[in-house]
Amino acid sequence: MEITAKMVKDLREKTGAGMMDCKSALAEAAGDFEKAVTVLRERGAAKAAKKEGRTTAEGVIASYIHPGDKLGVLLEVNCETDFVARTDQFKQFVHDLAMHIAASAPTCVDRDQVDQDMINKEREIYRQQALNEGKPEKIVDKIVDGRIEKYYAEVVLLEQPFVKDNDKTVGDFVKETVGSLGENIRVSRFARFRLGE
C-alpha cells in the first residue's frame, strides 16, 4: 500500500512523533493506521527504557490555574538539558501534565510514594467487603489484589488514564514524550491546591 503525505500527517498529529518515524511505522504496519500507532508507542517505550538511567538535572517548574481561580497546580518536571526544557514541545507536555493533575487529583507521582499504611488499610477494607459480598475465601485475595490495582490507578499519577487520551496512562504519555524528545524525563513532584482545602 502506498503511504501518502496525508497519512503521515494524520499519524504525526495523533502521536506527536517525527515525520520519518511516522512514515516508517506506517510502512511497517502496511498502511494500517492503528497498527502504526501501536508501532510508534512500542518504539517510544523502547527508547524511553534506554534513557531511563540518565541524569535529569534540568527542567521546569510550571503552574496551572484552572479557569475560575479556585484550583491550581505547581509541578516540577526534569529533563537532561536546558535546550529541551525550553522547547515548545516540552512546555506543552508539562502544561498537559499540570492540567491532568488539576482534573484527576492524584496524590503522588508513583507507587513508591503511596503510604504503605494506607495500602494495608485499603487491603483490609477490600477484604472485608469481598467477604461481606459472600465471595469464596479462596478467591478473596485475588479480588483484593484487583481492587488494590484499581486504587493505584486512581491515586498514582503515572498510572492514571491520561485525560486527553484515555487509551493510555500518564506513564505512557511520559514514555512517548521521552521517545520523541530523545531525553530522559522525570516527573519529580507536584502540589494541587483547591480553594478552601
Q: Domain coordinates of the chain in residue numbers?
A: 5-51, 58-110+156-194, 115-154
The answer for residues whose C-beta is within 8 angstroms of residue 46's C-beta and 6 or more apart is 179
Task: Tell me if 24 sits within 8 A of 42, measured CB to CB.
Answer: no
- What gap in Å lies between CA 14 and CA 180, rounded to an integer? 13
Confidence of residue 4 (pLDDT cuts 50, 70, 90): confident
pLDDT at position 77: 95
Cα angle 181, 53, 106; round to 5: 75
Q: What are phi and psi of 14, to 5 degrees?
A: -75, -40
CATH fold of 5-51, please?
Helicase, Ruva Protein; domain 3 (1.10.8)
Per-residue pLDDT reduced to its tens digit, 23-43: 888 888 888 888 888 887 777
What mean pLDDT is reported for the chain? Answer: 86
Mean pLDDT of 152-169: 92
Burial, 142: exposed, middle or buried (Cβ in 10 Å; 0-12, 13-18, 19+)? exposed
- Domain 115-154 classification at class level: mainly alpha
CATH of domain 58-110+156-194: 3.30.479.20
Sole residue written with cell 512523533: 17
- What gap in Å lies between CA 188 and CA 185, rounded to an integer? 9
Equal fold, 5-51 vs 115-154: no
pLDDT at position 56: 67
Per-residue pLDDT reduced to its tens digit, 100-152: 999 999 999 999 898 889 899 988 999 888 888 888 888 988 999 999 999 99
Instruction: Report pTM.
Output: 0.68
Task: Tell me if 184 sits within 8 A of 79, measured CB to CB.
Answer: yes
Q: Does 55 score more than 70 pLDDT?
A: no
